[in-house]
A and B are shown apart, each in its own frame.
Chain A
Amino acid sequence: MSAIEPPRNRLWWKQPLDRTEGLWILIAFVWCMVMFFMMPYWHIYGKQNLANEAYRTTPEAFQKKTDEMVAKHKVREETDLKIPVVHPPAGSDVYLIARLWQWWPMLELEAGKTYRLHLMSMDWLHGFSLQPENINIQVHPGYEHILTVTPTAPGKYSIVCNEYCGINHHTMVSRLYVVK
């Protein structure tokens, strides 16, 4: 009878659907299909998709490539920690290290140009959160994640760690410059 008693009619599965339910199921199902098609659609026509490109690597190998980039393209140093700021040429491979509790080095990119951004953690999980643009990506140790990114507007952006990574998690913040 009610929902806390066994159904009085033993052939309950043969009861025809009421129109209220039937209509709603139809509408809801159509909406679910719209949502389903939005994701492949955006892969074809949209511009914001995560790459499928990632490689397993080691912290040493990633550090080496980052050091090479820094040696080649360093333009200045910032803060007391003398964090290098690099200005790599448009279209090049750009490396960004996440580690307890720092992003290294600082990047200076050109607006409207495209870069291959390599992200990796040296130790624990970190979160790459680009503010105020609000792009948020998970950064794993051992996985080199490669994204093709095109900064649109010049300005001073921040990279905030948004994956909890231990006691000084909230101090893990850095800059990203986009110049004309």
Chain B
Amino acid sequence: MAVNRNFRTCPSTGLVYHEPAEKLMKWNAVAGVVFLLLGGVLALLVTLTRWPAVHLLPADWFYLVLTAHGIDMLIFWIIFFEIAVLYFAASTLLKCRLATPRIAWAAFWMMIVGAVMNNVAVFKGDSSVMFTSYVPMGAHWAFYLGLIIFAVGALLACFVFLGTLAVGKAEKTYNGSIPLVTFGATTACIIAIFTIASGAIILIPTFLWSVGLVDHIDSLMYKTVWWAFGHSSQQINVSAHVSVWYAIAAIVFGAKPLSERVSRGAFLLYIFFLQLASAHHLLTDPGLTSNWKIFNTSYAMYLAVLASMVHGLTVPGAIEVAQREKGYTRGLFEWLRKAPWGNPIFSGMFISLIGFGFLGGISGVMMGTEQLNLLIHNTIYVPGHFHATVVIGTTLAFMSLTYFLIPTLFRRELMFPKMAAWQPYLFGLGMSVFALFMMGAGTLGVPRRHWDITFAGNALAHEFPGAAFLMMGLTGIAGVAAVVGGGMYIAIAVGSIFFGKRLDVPAARRVAVRDGMAPPPEPAPAIPTGHGTPAAWGLIAPGTFALAMVFLVSFVLYYFVNWKYLSTVWPLS
């Protein structure tokens, strides 16, 4: 079989697209957006049901829709888009051909088949088992089989990514080390492989159980292994969207990492320590010792937290340095005030970073603390937290990247540019308010995945405080705003891709291996010493440092407020 070596160079960005890789990126991204649309409609139904004054759906429909919403968003939307990002980070950034496009297509179709099969099982109504699908509650076998087929497809795509790295190395399409963004994507890929392996270990026996070949699955064993898959699958997202932050900082500002060593080191910490954090889903379960819980959630997890805190500084820090070099040097924050706030690529990315850190990061650490977890385990605080991490963090970062990809990858002009400028604000801020009030309601004890917190008709009804109902109402309003923001994204993305004005498409040109090679490396320059000129306090990014301190103070205060709250609860041992 002849190897396709057709490439085209994007005239506006200079990025190089390999023909089959380009097609695969497009299809994976579009498939992701289709699932985002489906998940978004379901999100509206979930929100309107949990808004107590509306309470739209009947109970059976609510649990069905919530199951489908969780899986379509957390798995199908995000992983399809991530595969597109992986191909971009490997093939485009390394300017090399994609390894084995046929296998990449097989992966794509397996993922489609799996996703459709899983959705059919859920919508048929006998698989409303939620994203976690805890045994012994059982779903239709097609539910598990769909997930397994999807996972195998995603695994194949990961290998195509790694293969592409090998091709780039072998054909010498770049000099020296891979770019930081590709490095981050590699982290995501490695975590993904671990994750999918755990998923297989737990889902395959569960599938066999669902068809009657295995007669018992221990609920604690299931939950332990399941979370090695479930939480890690969300940590692929962290690596992926942090890479996207770096990419956008580079694209919009030409920002270079403060130091490659620190940023790459932080990604490595993710590989070493993120997975263990899965243990924080088991903090209130019987049969696991405190030592196990503390080791897994703290010793290791805080090094992963450290990694996120490092990225939270280095990404805006790189932007600050780049802006200061352009002359925005007055005061601590001129660089930030003069940032292109009307450009959705930047505004979305920045809101994503702030929301992920302040709302998602702080609440996540609080929940992952062994004793504090008692206060909010399985309350609506938990979805409050993960909407901040996964939706504001990952989804919004991916949305911002789309605004960049539409002109360069799809070669279409962005439709509704005014609406695009507003979209990250409506979506990001709507989602922030949504997450915040969910956390508030969770602190008052409102359970997650619960159809009726009024317990209407129940003789033993519990009355939640009025503030809880107020906060659930505000959650509903903010949720609707966020759904509208999501709808705007879909309208812009789908509109532009299918009906946007075509930009000149440069023809793909055949490139011989020899021509595609990077020029011979220049002699290694002396070890760099400088980072630019210090701007204040002897720091090159004093504004970012000040923001980081604001973050730290919020974190410390919130953390100890929760310990204080815990100390008033019934003694327990």
Contact = CB atoms under 8 A, between A and B. Distances in A.
Contact of A125 (B219, B261, B369): B219
B255 A150 contact: no
Contacts of A160: 445, 447, 462
A3 B460 contact: no
Contact of A136 (B255, B375, B542): B375
Contacts of B499: none
A173 B375 CA distance: 18
Contacts of A161: 447
A99 interface: no
Interface in A16-61: 16-21, 23-25, 27-29, 31-33, 35-36, 38-40, 42-43, 46-52, 54, 56
Contacts of B63: 164, 167, 169
A140 interface: yes
B375 A140 contact: no
B528 interface: yes
Interface centre among B130, B176, B461 (most CB of A within 10 A): B176
A170 B59 contact: yes
Does more than half of chain A's interface fall in helix, strand or loop, or is it mixed? mixed
Contact of B458 (A3, A21, A35, A173): A173
A11 B527 contact: yes
B555 interface: yes
Nearest to A166: B137
Nearest to B314: A21
A43 B293 CA distance: 12
A117 B361 CA distance: 34
A134 B443 CA distance: 8
A145 B310 contact: no
Interface size for chain B: under 10, 10 to 19, 20 to 34, or 35 or more residues?
35 or more
Contacts of A20: 258, 313, 317, 539-542, 544-545
A62 to B, nearest CB: 13
Interface of A: 1-7, 9-21, 23-25, 27-29, 31-33, 35-36, 38-40, 42-43, 46-52, 54, 56, 78-81, 119, 123-125, 127, 129-138, 140-145, 147-152, 158, 160-171, 173-175
Interface of B: 59-60, 63, 93, 128, 130, 132, 134, 136-137, 174-181, 218-220, 223, 246-247, 249-251, 254-263, 282-287, 289-290, 294, 297-299, 302-303, 305-306, 309-310, 313-314, 317-318, 365, 369-371, 373-379, 443-445, 447-453, 455, 458-462, 464-465, 521, 524-525, 527-529, 531, 534, 538-542, 544-545, 548, 552, 555-556, 559, 563, 566-567, 569-573
